[in-house]
Structures are given as C-alpha cells and as structure tokens.
Amino acid sequence: MATSLEISKNCQLILALDIEDRTQAIELVKQSGGELEWVKIGLQMFTHYGPDYVREIADLGKRIFLDLKLHDIPNTVAKAIASVSNLPIDMLTIHTCGGREMMEWAVKAQQDNKPDLQLLGVTVLTSMDDDALAGIGVNRSTAEQVIALTALANEAGMSGLVCSPHEAASVKAAHGDQFQLVTPGIRPTATNAGDQKRIMTPQLAADQGADYIVVGRPIYQASNPAAVVAAIRSDLG
C-alpha cells in the first residue's frame, strides 16, 4: 500500500481560472509561473471566448482541464466529446446523473477520438443538499447519492471523478485506483475559505487520495500567485 508521502508526491495542482477578463486571465497564468502545469477552464469562459481561448492557454505551455459538465442524451454527449477532441485538452467533465448509457457513450467517444483524454464524472453538485435532491425526486441523502452515482460511473467504465476531498478516501476504499480523483474545496493554511464550506489543505486532500487538487481564489487573488503555487506544491511534497 502506498504511504501518504507517496500519494502526496503524485498529487498535482490545477488552477481554476475563474477570471472574467481574458487579458487578465492570460496575465494571471503567466504570473503563476512555470511550476504551474494545469489550468481549469469553466463554462463561463468557454461560452464567452470559445475554443481559441483554450488554445491560447495551452500555447502558454499549460495542460487544460475543460470543465463543461456535459449532460444530454448519449448521442449528443458523444458528439460533443468528438468535437472537443480537436482541442488541446487533457481533462473533460460530464455529469454522472446523465445515467449509465450516457456515460458508456461518453467513454466510447473519448476512446475513439482522444484516448489520452481523462473523462471526469461529476456526482452531486456541492450547491445541492438533501432538500434540493428531494426537489428533483431523489429521495437519497447526498452522501448516498454520491456513492450510488460513483458505482454507476464504475459500471459504465469511467476512470475519473470530481469529488470533495472529504469523499476521496471512501471512493478509494470502495473502488481502489479505478478512479483518478480531482478535488476542489482546497484551502492552503491561513487563506480565506470564501464560500467553500467543506475545505481541506492540499496535503490533507492528497493524503485522503486526491490525485489532483483544484485551487482558484487562493492563487488568483494573491498578490504573488507564483509564490502561492510554489507553497502549495511544497505542501504536496
């Protein structure tokens, strides 16, 4: 069994580039320094600036996590994956609640079009609680729903998940290394939690089994983003 130090060494940092202005976003990526390898681009920037923005960040030497959270009928999701396969991306999100067939089609589209692309399944959004689930007819707790959707993702052949660092250990315990785990909700010690409620430090998240941690505001709101990147990488071992 791997020690926590070995796990920490393998855990990588992803910058969540949730910045509205394109020029500022590019500048921030440059300021974050060469130690930063991964950048997450979300729906807001992708719908505003499109594929060229992805290429522009990739041209800065960064690997791209495109966080589109696809959720549609299987055929449409598969075709969307085929479309984005032309882009220089390394990770892409889909919603596990699209169901087993949607995930199977997604996995097939990924394997046919971009075998190196890591598909990640989003389970229950952290903006949802038990009441919100009940409102859409799901009468499980959020914890139970995460476990059920994770099992479904496993059956569909998925190999990556986005989850809370608080869920990482139980996913690893249930599924071993079947899933690459990407965890947001990370705060280096002595930084502001903001609206994140269930936070963890980089090292603790890595020790829980996170393969990648996503960090946004603690880096892009810092006066010296490169210093925060270096501190997080040092914390990860």
Selected from 19, 215, 229, 236, the binder of ligand C5P by CB under 6 A is 215
- Cα–chain center distance at 76: 22
The CA distance from 61 to 230, in Å, is: 17
Contact between 165 and ligand C5P by CB under 6 A: the answer reads no
Q: Are 147 and 175 a contacting pair, CB within 8 Å?
A: no
Q: Which residue is nearest to ligand C5P (CB)?
A: 216
* 69 given a catalytic annotation: yes
The CA distance from 124 to 162, in Å, is: 9
Smallest distance from ligand C5P to CB 121, Å: 12
Encoded amino acid at 115, one letter: P
Selected from 4, 18, 55, 147, the binder of ligand C5P by CB under 6 A is 18
| From 9, 40, 62, 69, the catalytic residue | 69
* Binding window for ligand C5P (CB under 6 A); candidates: 30-38, 148-156, 172-180, 209-217: 209-217
Contact between 184 and ligand C5P by CB under 6 A: the answer reads yes
Selected from 4, 126, 159, 178, the binder of ligand C5P by CB under 6 A is 126
Residue whose pair of structure tokens reads 């869920």 in the numeric block: 167
The CA distance from 153 to 150, in Å, is: 5
The CA distance from 224 to 71, in Å, is: 37
* Two structure tokens written together for 87: 């882009």
Selected from 74, 202, 216, 225, the binder of ligand C5P by CB under 6 A is 216
Given the rule CB under 6 A, which residues bind ligand C5P? 16, 18, 42, 126, 162, 184-185, 194, 196, 214-217
